[in-house]
Structure 1
Amino acid sequence: MSNSYISITLKTITLSLIVLISSCNQKKEPVKAMTSEKTENILLAEWTGPFGGTPAFDKMNITDVKPALLKAMEINLKEIKDIVNNPDAPTFDNTIVALEKSGAQFDRVSTYYGILRSNTSSPEFREIQKEMAPKLSEFRSKIFQNTKLFQRIKAVYENSLKTPLEDDQQRVVQLIYENYAMRGAELDEEKKQRYAQINKELSELYTSFSNNVLADEEGYVTYITKDQLGGLSESLIKSYAKAAKDRGQEGKYAITNTRSSMDPFLTYSTERELREKVWKNYYSRGDNGDQYDNNENIAKILKLRKERVALLGYENYADWRLQNRMAKNPQNANKLMNAVWPAAIARVKEEVADMQSIASANGDKITIEPWDYRYYAEKVRKKKYNLDSDEVKQYLQLDKLREAMFFVAGELFNFKFTPTEPGKVPVFHEDVKVWEVNDKTSGEHIGLWYLDPFARTGKRSGAWATTYRSHTTFDGKKNVLGSNNSNFVKPAPGEPVLVSWDDAETFFHEFGHALHFFSSEVRYPTLNGGVRDYTEFQSQLLERWLSTDQVIDNYLVHHKTGKPMPKSLIDKVKKAATFNQGFATTEYLASAIIDMKLHLADPSNIDIDTFERETLAALKMPKELVMRHRTPHFGHVFSGEGYATAYYGYMWADVLTSDAAEAFAEAPGGFYDKEVASKLVKYLFAPRNAMDPAEAYKKFRGRDAKIEALMKDRGFPVN
């Protein structure tokens, strides 16, 4: 499961500082009163250069951040004031369009802020972040709680119900109206003040939470010596050696506290005690009882979230959050998770039995523990399917996978990716590369794709996608600046980056988000937003093309011989497709269920560790594995609000994914069928949020999605 960020703007803002800051769009040029204003702060300046202008990442300076944010907020509030004070009666143009045009400077500054926060964070920046988080919260409250502004929005909304606008305009009005109403625009002044204060407190807690996790990721590095390398591949050893050298420990080998470093070590290392140490380091992030412990932060967050939605008349946070998602309410989300959970834990029991059998036969006098799961699962994989994951990795080169993604984008979306000339587009780190995206047939320029593939100090873990500018046409056509960000372990000089099959799927997954950005045909910025339990669907679907014959035959080639992956190995990979689904499904679902239950529980005197432990015990969580994201480092949910009570959305989206994949599998041209691909782009990618997701899926499939396809994909019984 990847950690993905979907493009939004201030108009579709959530209360999550992370999503707000790292995923803002550039929407317009400033109004004339502002364009003539000269500024020396590069973060505020209009983007210049080729490709419609690009961020001056090479010139950004951390000392510019605070003054730029303060000035951008001041300008944006002046724009809001001008809308509110317009003496003319509220109309779509003078209220909604004006609102869509506002905030250009703020969006530009937010792009830099997002990079400094997620990709190149430093202790100095984190201090600025702590200071600015409450100021940003106050700024948002001044907009969302502006009574006169909401009165104008409401007037346009009510008039549109009597005299409908064009379809996309009607959708924009509906989304903006609902967004403001959900965030307290209709509260009385006393409740508004408390609502704003809660948001301010939450913003500080979110910042503290994410910085604590990052501190534990940076602070716990396991160094090992040459005699402790048993089971590790040559390429992995070289990567760990480089990681140690980069940290001033030349001659040693460093397993950093990130998933991309931890996971292969737990899979291959023969050193059980070290596996336990690495495992505990990783799964104890934010839960070490020290200055970076997040349990108290979480308890405070839950209390404040419940109090805030109570001001709006909601019994719990989940009811408020899910009202405009595909699930609509927590009961529907729980129904899906509860339908899959029994099959998942039953499969774990079978997987553990297989692993214990191999351990015993090997003379290993152990009982399978969580730090053993990956290691013995790999041995089971070899025994059951004669499949060696390390053998598969020899055919999964990062550069070739990128070429494969470009091929798929060309076949399905008619996109062409061409590397830009070195130095033509500014980047924030030497590892970042940039490609121009064009229409293959017409040559029309669509945008730029930035790739930031490697882990580094100051970069948050996981993988995600974001936009620096999104497609719109309402104020002059804007091209897309989209980015994919990963945390692959950087190889030694001259060595290829070899990744696991799971990591390759994640690479395709995040690229799916980018294709969603580039496919946009919407007119207004708000429509580039998304419904969380739907927007993961498009990216999850793209993972399916990794295992298509065209990709395997042409891009999965051995990094030394250049020969394609042999059919015998391909057959093993496909045969083992449902292998270890107990582990994969259970670790994910446990996190999703805990997320939901935490927000349905009474947070008055909640002890987070106890709640997590007792809830999992009641669910009969297998002791041999843990949640994919334990609560104290569950950044999706507690470093912002993007996935709060919405982590289930990956599975909701996966129901759509499995069902949509069947449409391709059944088509005459398979996964490259032109007719199905055309419908895919037309209904599921290009509209973004201009169309209700359920309606869009029905237009593509001709019916609602069915859960049976998901169960079959995971090898679970279908009732």
Structure 2
Amino acid sequence: MNIADNPLLLPFNEAPFSSIKNEHFKPAFETAITMAREEIDTITNNTDTPTFENTVVALDYAGAQLDRISSVFFNLNSAETNDHIQKIAQEVSPLLSEFGNDITLNEQLFARIKHVYDQKDTLTLSVEAQTLLEKRYKSFARNGANLAEDKKSRLREIDASLAKLKLTFGENVLAETNAYELHLTDESDLEGLPESAKEAAASAAKSRDKEGWVITLDYPSYIPFMKYATNRALRKELSIAFGSKAFKGNEHDNQKNVLEIVQLRHERANLLGYETHAHFVLEERMAETPSKVIAFLNTLLEKAKPAAQREFAQLENFAKAEDNIEQLEKWDGSYYSEKLKQKLFNLDDEQLKPYFKLENVIAGVFTVAQKLFGLQFEEVFNVDTYHEEVKTYHVLDADGNFISLFYADFHPRKGKRGGAWMTSFKSQMMKDGINERPHVSNVCNFTPSTPSKPSLLTFGEVTTLFHEFGHGLHGMLANTTYPSLSGTSVYWDFVELPSQVLENWCYEKEALELFATHYETGEVIPMELIQKIKDSATFQEGMQTLRQLSFGLMDMAWHSQNPSAITDVKAFETTAFSETSLYPPTPETCMSTSFSHIFQGGYSSGYYSYKWAEVLDADAFEYFKEHGIFNKEIAQKFKEHVLSKGGTENPMTLYKRFRGQEPQPDALLRRAGLI
């Protein structure tokens, strides 16, 4: 294929989605890898003495074309995939893994970097430049640059295997999600479901050329059924289908993949001189060591468990009194929690949804960003997108200067994985004296509109939108020199601070009144509903905290010990959950086999960071509350010291510069009502 015919190999600013065909990807990757190798060769063959500029900086900008192609392709593989794209992903992932190893195991390149690193005390570098040098040297040392040749060869084999295993894991979860449907033809089976959920189920059936209603394992379909359907047997069927994804002994089973992934990660860590995978990962985190993470999780567990047990007993008693339920099961949890919440607070999602029309919530999060950071959002219609549902916006500052391009993709589709995430199609950086501005995307899976109703969000979906938009702001407001330190390129247990802190505005009257208006009448959300949202915010907080801690502790169980003796995924998981379990076990289900965060995504040995970041965000929001939630001065400090700085300095240094002190865990416990 001629380069001139491949849009991915021509210079582009906005991703040229409509011109890209599947057959363009593999040749584009191969050509871009060759180009990047040539850029690396230029650095290593340079006969001048290694300097920070000609080696470290040159390396940071090398492979820019490959980075852009990768961001376009892997985002499509998450948001708009098909069999062909998945096949390409399996083919190119080992090539990328091999190329990454070729860089970190390149002795000439490492020798040049080490030469500069050894002179670091005599160089007059900016703080950001010092961070880049330190990060670059460690990335080589931590990825095998000092290994003997035979060990380097084994490292390459491990990395290639892991790249494929992680992809296969994700494909299996998606295939299992898509393979299941609960097809109902008797309307009585939908008893308890709100009209909006019934209508969505009817639409799902119609799209499959079926009569009646279809419930799927996609969150907008699954969650309302589990929360409202009175038919306990169907809740059980759906719950087990959801919990047994990739755990059925069929072609999409992930048990073997889980064991192989953890074993290879452990072997890799040992090769590099680390005790376990968690020791390797946490060296580059605020938390630093597995023992600190486990101590942190157990401290929260100590505070949360008594509350969780009280809440669970309350729920058991309520279910017994309501429906004579002798044994509360997992498929009863959401249903009776929702009923109890309605009884205690006279509040349910269906009351709130009319006030959260998607377009209004988007306008609301934009207004919050405008009031805090002076940003303006203008929808544009001439930017190429990968699907007709994707909306695009120009983000401008208060003076009308271009800050970022923003893509928003909000509804489930067959080729789109579940969940919600922020991603980037172009990084911010300073290049040739020009501040290249980022292209940022938010992808979610919200309830779509139906023939009679617009897309109305649950309150949980509202907080999800604010959460992902917080990540988006971290990307949009990036203002650093080097691409590898820009935006969300920060320690993993710091990356959730901007996203989680923004969720707090969803609970504040001053913010809600900006956008929470009834989609039919235009009435602003009544104060009594706002008060109920606030009052119910800590409802079952002990149980919610226990759930998050259980995931963090299981992640550490998989990754902070030698896994070679583990042969039974389910048995191991059951032991890991033993301190946090409230419900009776269900033998048919297993979480690990679909726990994409740690086995496909980047959260291995990092799931604790959600709780870690909650400590940061609760402490940060207390600072806002003390001075007013739209206080410009505090917002400017947050923008200047956190959002714009990326990974240019140690995150605790940045946080203390913003807050004036280290974060206080008590802020989280106060907010959660646990102290």
- Using the size of structure 1 for normalisation, the TM-score is 0.90
- Classify the secondary structure of the residue corresponding to 2:17: coil
Aligned: 1:448 with 2:405: yes
Indicate whether 1:490 and 2:455 are aligned: no
Which secondary structure does the structure 2 equivalent of 1:434 belong to? strand
1:534-549 alignment, distance < 5 Å:
534-549=494-509
Q: Distance in 2 between matches of 1:80 and 1:539?
A: 36
**Which range moves more in the overlay, 259-268 or 526-535?**
259-268
Structure 1 stretches of 4+ moved >4 Å: 624-629
Aligned to 1:311: 271
Displacement of 1:89 after TM fit? 0.8
Residue range with higher mean Cα deviation, 474-483 or 707-716: 474-483
SS at match of 1:623: coil
Instruction: Tell which deviates more after alignment, 332-341 or 362-371.
Output: 362-371
- In structure 2, the partner of 1:98 is 58
Aligned equivalent of 1:514 = 472
Does residue 1:685 correspond to 2:643, yes or no? yes
Residue 65 of structure 1 and its aligned partner are, at CA, apart by: 1.4
User: Aligned equivalents of 2:534 and 2:56: distance in 1?
Assistant: 51
Q: Partners in 2 of 1:629 and 1:460 — Cα distance? A: 19
Q: Does 1:696 align with 2:661?
A: no
Work out which of the residue numbers 155, 158, 171 in structure 1 matches 2:115: 155
Q: Which digits, 9 at most, give the CA deviation of each residue in 1:416-450, with x for residues without a partner?
A: 00100x3x10000010000110012x110112110
Structure 1 residues 626 and 517, CA gap change in structure 2 (3 angstroms): farther
- Name 1:439's counterpart in structure 2: 397
Q: Is the 8 A contact 1:267 1:378 kept in 2?
A: yes
Aligned mates of 2:518, 2:113 — CA distance in 1: 58
- Higher relative CO (CA 8 A, sep ≥ 6), structure 1 or 2? 1
Q: 1:173 to 1:620 in 2, by over 3 A?
A: closer
Q: Secondary structure at the match of 1:539?
A: helix
1:634, 1:592 → 2: CA distance? 11
Q: Identity rate of aligned residues, in percent?
A: 35
- 1:457 equivalent in structure 2: 414
Q: Identify which range, 377-386 or 154-163, moves more after superposition.
A: 154-163
SS at 2:445 equivalent: strand
DSSP-derived class of the 2:444 partner: strand
Q: Which residue of 2 aligns with 1:553?
A: 513
- 1:40 matches 2:5: yes
Point out where structure 2 has 5 or more consecutive residues left out of the alignment.
Answer: none
Structure 1 residue 624 displacement after superposition: 5.7
**Aligned counterparts of 1:553 and 1:645: Cα–Cα separation in 2:** 40
2:509·2:530 contact (CA, 8 Å) conserved in 1?
Answer: no
**The residue matched to 1:66 in structure 2 has which SS?**
helix
What is aligned with 1:466?
423
> Aligned partners of 2:473 and 2:612: how far apart in 1?
20
C-alpha RMSD of matched pairs (Å): 1.7
- Report if aligned partners of 1:145, 1:192 keep a CA contact under 8 Å in 2: yes
Residues 587, 625 of structure 1: 8 Å contact kept: no
Equivalent in the alignment of 2:34: 74
Deviates more, 1:293-302 or 1:235-244: 235-244
* Residue 643 (structure 1) shift: 0.9
| Contact 2:501–2:617 (Cα < 8 Å) also in 1 | yes
Q: Equivalences for 1:288-437 in 2 at 5 Å?
A: 288-420=248-380, 422=381, 424-437=382-395
User: Structure 1's 707 and 510: CA in aligned 2 closer, same or farther, altered over 3 A?
Assistant: same
Instruction: Confirm or deny that 1:638 pairs with 2:596.
Output: no
Post-superposition offset of 1:239: 1.5
Equivalent residue for 1:672? Answer: 630
Q: Does the CA-based 8 Å contact 1:637-1:645 persist in structure 2?
A: yes
SS for the counterpart of 2:410 is: strand
Cα separation, 2, equivalents of 1:521 and 1:193: 38
Match of 2:158 among 198, 210, 220: 198
| 1:499 and 2:457 aligned | yes
Query: Contact 2:226–2:335 at 8 Å: present in 1 too?
Result: yes
Paired residue for 1:257? 217
Which residue identity is paired with 1:673? N
Number of residue pairs matched by the alignment: 668
**Paired residues of 1:268 and 1:375 also in contact (CA < 8 A):** yes
Q: Distance in 2 between matches of 1:43 and 1:221?
A: 37
Preserved contact between residue 258 and residue 282 of structure 1 (Cα < 8 Å): no
| Cα distance in 1 between the residues matched to 2:303 and 2:342 | 24
For 1:450, what is the secondary structure of its paired residue? strand
What residue identity is the alignment partner of 2:459?
W
State the Cα distance separating 1:594 from its structure 2 match. 0.4
For the structure 1 residues 493 and 151, does the alpha-carbon distance in structure 2 shift closer, same or farther, using more than 3 Å as the test? farther
Shift of 1:623: 1.6
Aligned to 1:237: 198
- Is 2:84 the partner of 1:124? yes
Aligned to 1:211: 171
Give ranges in structure 1 of 5+ residues lacking alignment.
1-36, 48-52
Amino acid at match of 2:462: A
What does the per-residue CA deviation read over 1:554-585, in whole Å, with 9 as the maximum and x for residues that have no partner?
Answer: 31112222111111111111111100212321
Q: Quote the residue 1:524 is aligned against.
A: 482
Secondary structure of the equivalent of 2:73?
Answer: helix
Structure 1 pair 363/201, CA: closer, same or farther in 2 (3 Å)? Answer: closer
